[in-house]
Structure 1
Amino acid sequence: MRIITCLRNLILGLTLVTTGFIPVAMAEAPMAKKQVPGYYRMMHGQFEVTVLFDGAFDVGISLMSNATQTELQQLLARNYIDGDKVQTATNVYLINTGKNLVLIDVGCGTLFGPKMGKIMDNLKAAGYAPEQVDTILLTHMHPDHVGGLVDANGNMLFPNAKVYANQVESDFWLSDKNAGEAKNDQMKNAFKNAKASTAPYRAAKKWHTFQHKDEVVPGIRAVSTAGHTPGHTMFRIKSDEQRFFILGDLVISHTVQFTRPDVTLAFDINPEQSVITRYKVFNLAAKYKWMVAGAHLPYPGIGQIRSNGDGTYGWIPVQMVPE
């Protein structure tokens, strides 16, 4: 009898609510209008890896070569992109080895406008201070990878860090001769920003170079992936026999370049070599099921590359896991 009464009361209550006889209280809360902090954390062996989100910018298909604009538009449409531009994330990787706190690239700083340059805020949100970073490794010296070394006034943002770039890369971007031979404004600005962003570290003798195959920090080895730039580098992170590869700009547009690895961009210094390098790394990553991370893959940019067996590839993003 008691159960029947409870059911009757429940039905009556639902009827009154749905017919509008009883006003339903709705909680009113202001919209936050703010995104969550941009950091993602995982363990790799004994190393802690934290991805810091620098922001995002658009890349137009007009900057892409080796495919027709119609073919590129079809690739975008397959990914439900309406238009001729692809949003491209910029990710920076913080590696805590237990002995060193290493940043791999530093984002663009103030160079690309208000939608970019979020590294410092996200570094602090992740529980670290810029003064704790002791080593910075650069995959290459394009503005969106070195601009975050300094503030708007050209002062060092990482006062206790030594900064490392590949010798070939450093020689190329810091050459007055090369800067004077730049053929367009984009390249002229790239040379200008490379010099300005690195200047205080060079003046303080905190600027260093490495050779490919060097173990720059214990557990972190430089691997040549030249093409995008002359000394472009990916880094192999090894701990407890686990291997993790940070690819830099090997992929700039995941929407296009996994299906069409032969597509190059206007930012590539040696387009033909960039294609050769991309196929080589894709094949190895798929064969050995490497965990990889990209500077411009969808945040947090970590995952694996799958071969489809027909010269095309797929991207398998990492999944969030509990602590």
Structure 2
Amino acid sequence: MQNKFHRIAVAVLSLAAGVPAMAAPPTPTTAPHVLPQPAGAYSFEVGGTRVIALSDGTAPQDLHKLLRGTMAARTDAMLRSEFVSNPLQTSINVFVIEIGERHVMIDTGVGDLFGPGSGGRLPESMAAAGIRSEQISDILITHVHPDDVGGLVRNGRMMFPNAVVHVGKPDVEFFVDPPKGKAAHADSKTSEELVGMMKPYFDAGKVRAFTGQTDIVPSISATPHAGHTPGSAFYTLSTKSGQIVFVGDIVHAAAVQFPTPSVSIMYDAEPTLAINVRKKAFAEFALNRTLIAAPHLSFPGVGYVRESGKGFQWVPVNYENWSAKQPAPRTGQAN
């Protein structure tokens, strides 16, 4: 998300210590040329509650410019080990949870803010999943960055006219409140865009700012995890027989930050806090075998974390695709 990386100016603390260079695996001789994709939607159930991952498309990241606490050569070697290279096309994922009559959306993608060819495909994916904008009852913002709130407004109008927007109060104060928002960004255009995305919902009385652990809607709670932004939050869907945690931007470059979670990214507001959040969360998710969903892991961005050496490894959910006209196949139960 090159635009984001060049335009979000946030306070950067001391960098993490450099890590030793690692041997570079050979470059693959054949890399696929990826063609334009149709709209993306992937549905699954957690304890009987339907969750839909929606693709807002992808956008490029120049990890050489963005990552902190590592070196370009090491980054390239770690990317090659996952058969990818820099710059890296990164997913922008949005999630919808169906709870009774409520349709609860986690983040909104980038909308029009990155320009043509970089995200902005949420409306197509919603249509493919049979979800209408007016059905969205609640929007849970993990943090106030352009690729998370950019889809709130399209063509100058509220995209989700019936939705209440839930967001951490520290992010409202840092990014949206005009006096503090202007001071929060060296790039005033980004500040204006963020305010522009949120203002129609404020004007309509549809924003609920929270502090601390909060029950947002039935079965979904928010927990603050300041670091990437002051008001960053996780949202946890808990049912009688299952749980999934929507983690926001604790990881951007899976090939690098899972093995070395001490690597931060330039738009972390407080890198040391962000690193601590990532390390603690990865360890807890691995220990408890927690199902998680993330905005910038390869679509659908749903899976597990496991320990691997001194770091961690991402394990995406097994892809399944079967017709609704046929009986549901038996699926292996994870232990």
Q: Bin the TM-score by the shorter chain.
A: 0.7 to 0.9
Over 3 Å counting, the alpha-carbon distance change for 1:183 and 1:98 in structure 2 is: closer
Deviations 1:237-287 (A, max 9, x none): 111241110111011111211111111111100001000000000000000
Q: Report SS of the residue matched to 1:314.
A: strand
Structure 2 unmatched ranges of 5 or more: 1-34, 323-327, 329-335
User: Of 61, 65, 69, which residue of structure 1 is paired with 2:68?
Assistant: 65
Structure 1 unmatched ranges of 5 or more: 1-32
**1: CA distance, partners of 2:37 / 2:70:** 36
Displacement after TM superposition at 1:41 (Å): 0.2
Match of 2:166?
A: 164
Q: Report SS of the residue matched to 2:157.
A: coil
Task: Output the amino acid matched with 2:261.
Answer: P
Report the TM-score when normalising by structure 2. Answer: 0.82
Q: After the TM superposition, which of the residue ranges 168-177 and 227-236 deviates more from structure 2?
A: 168-177
Displacement after TM superposition at 1:125 (Å): 1.1
Task: Output the amino acid matched with 2:53.
Answer: V
Match of 2:130?
A: 127
**1: CA distance, partners of 2:71 / 2:316:** 28
Conservation of the 8 A alpha-carbon contact between 1:46 and 1:97: no
**1: CA distance, partners of 2:243 / 2:190:** 32
Report the TM-score when normalising by structure 1. Answer: 0.85
Identity of aligned residues (%): 33
Q: After the TM superposition, which of the residue ranges 69-78 and 217-226 deviates more from structure 2?
A: 69-78
**1: CA distance, partners of 2:157 / 2:39:** 25
User: Of 131, 135, 143, which residue of structure 1 is paired with 2:146?
Assistant: 143
Q: Report SS of the residue matched to 2:110.
A: coil
Task: Output the amino acid matched with 2:278.
Answer: R
Q: Report SS of the residue matched to 1:181.
A: helix
Match of 1:173?
A: 175
User: Of 57, 60, 84, which residue of structure 2 is paired with 1:81?
Assistant: 84
Counterpart check, 1:292 vs 2:292 = yes
Match of 2:205?
A: 205
**2: CA distance, partners of 1:175 / 1:36:** 38
Displacement after TM superposition at 1:197 (Å): 0.3
User: Of 45, 55, 63, which residue of structure 2 is paired with 1:53?
Assistant: 55
**Higher alpha-carbon Rg:** 1
Task: Output the amino acid matched with 2:220.
Answer: I
Over 3 Å counting, the alpha-carbon distance change for 1:220 and 1:80 in structure 2 is: same
The answer to which structure, 1 or 2, has the higher relative contact order (CA under 8 A, 6+ apart) is: 2
Over 3 Å counting, the alpha-carbon distance change for 1:51 and 1:183 in structure 2 is: closer
Superposition CA RMSD, Å: 1.5
Displacement after TM superposition at 1:309 (Å): 4.0
Following TM superposition, where does structure 1 have runs of at least 4 consecutive aligned residues deviating by more than 4 angstroms?
none
Match of 1:191?
A: 191
